Amino acid sequence: MVYPTLRSFNVLMLSIASYNGLNAAQCAVALMAQGVAPLDACVEGVTLVEDDPNELTVGYGGLPNEAGIVELDAAVMDGASHRGAGVAALRNVRHPSRVAQRLMEQTHRVLLVGEGALEFARTNGFVEENLLTERARRMWLYWKRHRSRHDDWRPAPEDELPPEDRDWLRAHLPGLAGTVHCSVLARSGDMACVTSTSGHAFKLTGRVGDSPILGAGLYVDNEVGSCGSIGHGEANLENLSSFLAVEFMRAGLSPKEAGLEVLRRVSKNAHHEQRDANGLPRINVHLFLLRKDGAHAGVCLHGQKHYAVADEHGARLEACTPLHS
Ligand code: GLY
C-alpha cells in the first residue's frame, strides 16, 4: 500500500519503528494525519507486520515454540491516559496488539496470558486460525532435526530447506529473536507505542519475553517520550530497559545517550554465558527512542542495524548507533 507523504503539514508528527516496521511507521503517520488517535494508528501500523507471512518473528508466519506452536506476545501503551496492557503466550490469534488494546480499553487489567488471553480474544470475536505457515513449519522441523545428535531425529538433508531459509537460521542462531516495535508522536503532542512478537524461535512452551511487559519491551510517558525494544527479551526484563530509557530522557539525556546508557547497563549485567571470548555480550538488544520534541534514536549492543522513521518527508531507514563497534 502507498501512503501519502505529509509535506503539507508543518506541525511535527512522527513515528519510529524497528527496521521491519517501515510500513507500520508510514501507515501510523498517514492515519494520524487523517485524525486517527495515536494508539489506534500505531496498532493499525503494527497489524500490517502481524499479517505478513514472511516476517518470521511476528504474528502470522512467526516461528513457533519448541513444540511447533506459535505463541504471540504484544503490548500497547497510550501516553495521554498513561494506560497500557499486554497479552502473552497467545495462540491462534494473529493480531495480539489489537487484543492487548481491547484489554486496555475494556477492563481494569493489564496482563493476560495463555488460555485466559485466548478466551478474552474469543469473547471479543477475534477469529481463530492456525498461525503456523508451511514455511515456518519446515524451518521448525529442520531445527528439530539438527538440534542434537543424541535424540531420535536424523539430521535433515541440507537441501531440505531453501538456501535463504537455511541462511536465515544460521544468521540468527543462537538467539532467534525478532519483534516489531512502533512509537508515535501526534500533532497534539500525545504519544503511544506498541510492541508485538512471536518471541524467541523454538522457545520453551509458555516462555514470555519482554514485549508484553510494560517498562521492558515498551514504555511511554506523555511528558517525556517513548521507548521500545527488539532483541534478547530476558535482558530487557532484567534491566527494565524501556522504562529506564524514558527515565534517562526525563533526566535530560538525548535519546541516543539515554539509549546507550541503558545498553551500558545491559552490557554490564550480561550473564557469563552470554559473553564472547573478549567479554562482550553475544546477545543483542535494540532500543528505539522517541522524545516528546521529536528527537529520536536507534541504538543496539552491536551490529549495523537500522530503524524506521516516518514523518512529513515520508519513510526511511536510519542507522542505529552500536554501543560496541
Ligand atoms: N524481544 C522479544 C522477545 O525476546 O521475545
SS3 letters across 27-75: HHHHHHHCCCCHHHHHHHHHHHHHCCCCCCCCCCCCCCCCCCCCCEEEE
Unique residue bearing C-alpha cell 544460521: 170
Question: Hey, where are the domains in the chain?
Answer: 14-132+176-324, 134-170
Distance CA 223, CA 246 (A): 10
Task: State the pLDDT at residue 168.
Answer: 84
Give the number of the atom of ligand 1 that is nearest the alpha carbon of residue 230. 1
Give the residue among 309, 316, 260 at the shortest CA–CA distance from 286.
260
Contact 172, 201 (CB under 8 A): yes
Q: Is 197 a catalytic residue?
A: no
Distance CA 94, CA 59 (A): 5
Gap from CA of 11 to ligand 1 centroid (Å): 34
Contact 194, 184 (CB under 8 A): no
Task: State the pLDDT at residue 312.
Answer: 80
Give the residue among 255, 212, 249, 247 at the shortest CA–CA distance from 100.
212
Q: Is 320 exposed, middle or buried (0-12, 13-18, 19+ CB in 10 A)?
A: buried
Contact 229, 217 (CB under 8 A): yes
For every one of its 325 residues, what pLDDT tens digit does the chain have, with 9 covering 90 and above?
A: 444 443 443 448 999 999 999 999 999 999 999 999 999 999 999 999 999 999 999 999 999 999 999 999 999 999 999 999 999 999 999 999 999 999 999 999 999 999 999 999 999 999 999 999 999 999 999 999 988 889 999 998 888 899 999 888 887 765 566 899 999 999 999 999 999 999 999 999 999 999 999 999 999 999 999 999 999 999 999 999 999 999 999 999 999 999 999 999 999 999 999 999 999 999 999 999 999 999 999 999 999 789 999 998 899 999 999 999 8
Task: State the pLDDT at residue 9.
Answer: 37
Distance CA 264, CA 262 (A): 5
Task: State the pLDDT at residue 4.
Answer: 42
Could you give phi then psi for residue 72, rounded to 5 degrees? -110, 145
Task: State the pLDDT at residue 175.
Answer: 59
Q: Which of 47, 57, 133, 179 is catalytic?
A: 179
Task: State the pLDDT at residue 307.
Answer: 97
| Count of beta carbons in the 10 Å neighbourhood of residue 219 | 29
Distance CA 93, CA 118 (A): 8
Give the number of the atom of ligand 1 that is nearest the alpha carbon of residue 73. 5
Which residues lie with the beta carbon below 6 Å from any ligand 1 atom?
A: 177, 179, 197, 199-200, 209-211, 230-231, 233
Q: Is 95 exposed, middle or buried (0-12, 13-18, 19+ CB in 10 A)?
A: buried
pTM for the model stands at 0.94
> Which numeric CATH code is attached to 14-132+176-324?
3.60.20.30
Task: State the pLDDT at residue 122.
Answer: 98
